[in-house]
């Protein structure tokens, strides 16, 4: 008989279970620490549990352009509505498509319902406005002799607009205190584009360019100029409420103030002239990679009427100094980009600069959306109270506790000592599920709704089923007459295969359900898929290593009556083969003839 190779272990063996236990322990500590560090120690609740307002919008296309209602435009609309709702200071809102024509907006309680309906139920307003002045996003400091006239502007690291090449944009000059007030007054009263102003404050038709040097028919009243100046100097773009209200109620033919985000958390405030070009004047826009220069750009094509307007405004701006040579792309009162103009453009334009793929495509979608013949009408507005959701949640938690209690009673009665391993594994799975759900709220906007709670309850049975499969495989090996330690290792390969197949089927069902459904049913599918993946992690990194370690103890290894692995209670067969070999060895060699 050939001797076994050195270092060879039994199939399914695990030489160092401590490594797996250390790995899952580190993961649990890291996730729990991250949860407390982020400050989000509880899962974010959905609208059915927290209460709020649910608004259903239906997309409508202009006559003759029914193809405008498509997946791309609907997804862009979702992004626009999210920006609007977030402008109200609501970061927990849910905006998602339902079917091909509907958008569902769920806003938690604490939000003004009337204001929310106005924000989400109107078509996006996109305008191209000339920039008169730009400073950093905070309120202007108090005037003083030492600070008067000193530069404090913050250049906006946006793209520069050119016909064929990219140019570096100089820093933005700006003034503070009394000097800033004088500069604003000059910019608002200027009758034509000059280095101190790029547009007149005179009301005029939207999109109609003014000829250079033509004085205003009606000068801006001093009271209106002073009010706008005060609004600009006191505007604090670091305050979300002030950002949202900055351009509210301003007509396209009037100058206004607005905020723009240069980088995450870095804002600038703008003084803008009347709108020269509207969003509907844009025929098409897209972000694309310029292969020759190796950079991402945004290209724009205008309609025939839009080309004339854009040619007029770029002709005026191209000869000005910064920042009066820039135009602001304003969406719903917020500056999404403020590129500078280097030459007169007409039918098409290119925005180039500090873009990556995502930012270029996002800006292209925003510009395209302004040209879409797509409007929305409100189908329904429902107020969801937290009382109903709270009662249902309480009932669901009670049902889950009862189900978990029955599972534990069954495990204790049938598996005795093995039930300790199952209960510990369920506890580890529950802890990981809770922590991950709490972290996913701020990370991806996951909200725990009633269907998601149901998915977590269903997962109790799936997780317990994995333990039962492994325990029964071990008991089968003991019934064959093997001792516990080899039984644990021999049972693992077959149990592992069964567990993986079962969990794969459950995960596949959850994935299909998540893809083909919308709304709250996706919460059930997401939770079911998450807990199924965690079941695999817990079984491989916790249940199996713990079982390996406990098999080395006297209580389990010798098959104590309360261990759940008593060979007598399992009806184990005596080791007949081993007995025969032992008797043959004791009797000595056997004569082949007698055999």
Q: Cβ(224)–Cβ(174) under 8 Å? A: no
The β-bridge partners of 131 are 272
Per the DSSP assignment, residues forming a β-bridge with 102 are 58, 98
Q: Which of 206, 186, 210, 207 is nearest to 196 (CA)?
A: 186
Cβ-based neighbours of 225, under 8 Å, separated by 6 or more: 185, 188, 189, 201
Low-confidence ranges of the chain (pLDDT < 70): 1-15, 62, 83-93, 109-124, 139-221, 249, 346, 368-374, 386-390, 445, 518-520, 574-595
CA distance linking residue 393 with residue 46, whole number of Å = 11
What pLDDT does 341 receive? Answer: 82
Do residues 376 and 101 touch, judged by C-beta distance below 8 A?
no
Please, are residues 570 and 475 in contact by the beta-carbon 8 Å criterion? Answer: yes
What is the token pair recorded at 460?
Answer: 């109790």
Q: Which residues lie below 8 Å from residue 251, measured CB to CB, with a gap of 6+? A: 203
Pairing type for strands 282-290 and 94-98 reads unpaired
Q: Do the Cβ atoms of 366 and 328 come closer than 8 Å?
A: no
- DSSP string over 197-261: BSS--S---TT-PPPTTPPPSSPPPHHHHHHHHHHHHH--TTSHHHHHHTTTT--TTS-EEEEEE
Dist CA 166 CA 342 (whole Å): 9
The Cα–Cα gap between 527 and 448 comes to 9
Query: What is the model's pLDDT at position 179?
Result: 41
- In whole angstroms, give the CA distance from residue 463 to residue 25: 19
Cα dihedral sign for 511, 85, 41, 238? positive
Cα dist. 145→176, 178, 256 in Å?
A: 11, 9, 29
Beta sheet of 102-108, edge-to-edge order: 94-98, 102-108, 52-61, 374-384
Dihedral in degrees, nearest 10, Cα atoms 75, 77, 245, 208: 130
Token pair recorded at residue 331: 């969406």
- Quick count: other Cβ atoms within 10 Å of Cβ 436? 18
115 neighbors 88 (Cβ within 8 angstroms):
yes
- The rounded distance, in Å, linking the Cα atoms of 459 and 529 is 9
Q: Tell me, what's the pLDDT at 387?
A: 63
* Cα radius of gyration (the chain): 35
Q: What is the pTM of this model?
A: 0.52
Cα–Cα distance list, 87 to 119, 410, 431, 482 (Å): 9, 53, 35, 68
Query: Which phi-psi region, left, alpha or beta, contains residue 260 (left: φ > 0; alpha: ψ -120 to 50)?
Result: beta
Q: How far apart are CA 387 and CA 432, in angstroms?
A: 28
């Amino acid at each position: 008989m050939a001797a076994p190779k050195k270092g060879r272990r039994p199939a399914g063996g695990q030489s160092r279970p401590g490594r797996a236990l250390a790995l899952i322990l580190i993961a649990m500590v890291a996730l729990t620490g991250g949860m407390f560090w982020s400050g989000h120690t509880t899962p974010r609740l959905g609208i059915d549990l927290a209460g709020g307002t649910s608004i259903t919008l239906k997309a409508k296309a202009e006559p003759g352009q029914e193809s405008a209602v498509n997946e791309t435009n609907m997804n862009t609309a979702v992004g626009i509505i999210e920006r609007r709702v977030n402008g109200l200071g609501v970061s927990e809102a849910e905006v998602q498509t339902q079917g091909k024509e509907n958008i569902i907006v769920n806003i938690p309680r604490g939000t003004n319902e009337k204001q929310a309906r106005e924000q989400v139920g109107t078509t996006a307003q996109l305008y191209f406005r000339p920039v008169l002045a730009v400073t950093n996003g905070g309120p202007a400091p108090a005037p003083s002799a030492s600070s008067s006239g000193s530069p404090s502007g913050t250049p906006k690291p946006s793209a520069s607009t050119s016909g064929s090449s990219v140019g570096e944009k100089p820093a933005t000059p700006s003034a503070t205190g009394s000097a800033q007030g004088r500069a604003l007054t000059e910019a608002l009263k200027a009758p034509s584009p000059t280095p101190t102003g790029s547009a007149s404050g005179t009301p005029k038709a939207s999109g109609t360019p003014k000829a250079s040097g033509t004085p205003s028919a009606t000068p801006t009243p001093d009271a209106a100029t002073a009010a706008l100046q005060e609004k600009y100097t006191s505007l604090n773009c670091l305050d979300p409420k002030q950002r949202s209200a900055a351009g509210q109620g301003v007509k396209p033919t009037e100058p206004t103030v607005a905020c723009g985000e240069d980088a995450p958390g870095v804002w600038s405030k703008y003084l803008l002239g009347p709108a020269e070009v509207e969003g509907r004047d844009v025929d098409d826009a897209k972000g694309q990679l310029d292969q020759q220069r190796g950079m991402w750009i945004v290209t724009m094509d205008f309609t025939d009427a839009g080309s004339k307007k854009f040619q007029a405004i770029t002709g005026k701006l191209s000869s000005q100094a910064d920042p009066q040579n820039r135009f602001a792309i304003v969406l719903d009162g917020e500056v999404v980009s403020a590129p500078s103009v280097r030459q007169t453009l007409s039918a098409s334009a290119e925005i180039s600069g500090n873009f990556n793929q995502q930012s270029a495509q996002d800006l292209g979608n925003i510009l395209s959306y302004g040209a879409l013949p797509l409007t929305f009408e409100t189908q329904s507005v429902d107020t969801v109270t937290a009382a109903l959701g709270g009662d249902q949640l309480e009932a669901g938690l009670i049902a889950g506790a009862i189900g978990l209690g029955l599972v534990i009673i069954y495990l204790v009665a049938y598996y005795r000592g093995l039930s300790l391993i199952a209960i510990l594994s369920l506890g580890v799975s529950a802890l990981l599920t809770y922590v991950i759900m709490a972290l996913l709220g701020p990370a991806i906007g996951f909200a725990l709704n009633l269907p998601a709670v149901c998915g977590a309850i269903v997962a109790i049975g799936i997780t317990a089923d994995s333990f039962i499969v492994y325990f029964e495989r071990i008991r089968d090996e003991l019934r064959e007459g093997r001792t516990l330690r080899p039984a644990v290792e021999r049972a693992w390969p077959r149990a592992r295969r069964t567990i993986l197949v079962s969990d794969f089927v459950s995960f596949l069902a959850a994935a299909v359900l998540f893809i083909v459904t919308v709304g709250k049913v996706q919460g059930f599918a997401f939770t079911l898929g998450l807990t199924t993946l965690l079941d695999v992690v817990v079984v491989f990194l916790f249940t199996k290593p713990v079982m390996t370690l406990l098999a080395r103890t006297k209580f389990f290894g010798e098959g104590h009556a309360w261990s759940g692995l008593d060979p007598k209670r399992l009806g184990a067969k005596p080791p007949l083969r081993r007995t025969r070999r032992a008797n043959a060895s004791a009797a000595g060699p056997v004569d082949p003839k007698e055999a």
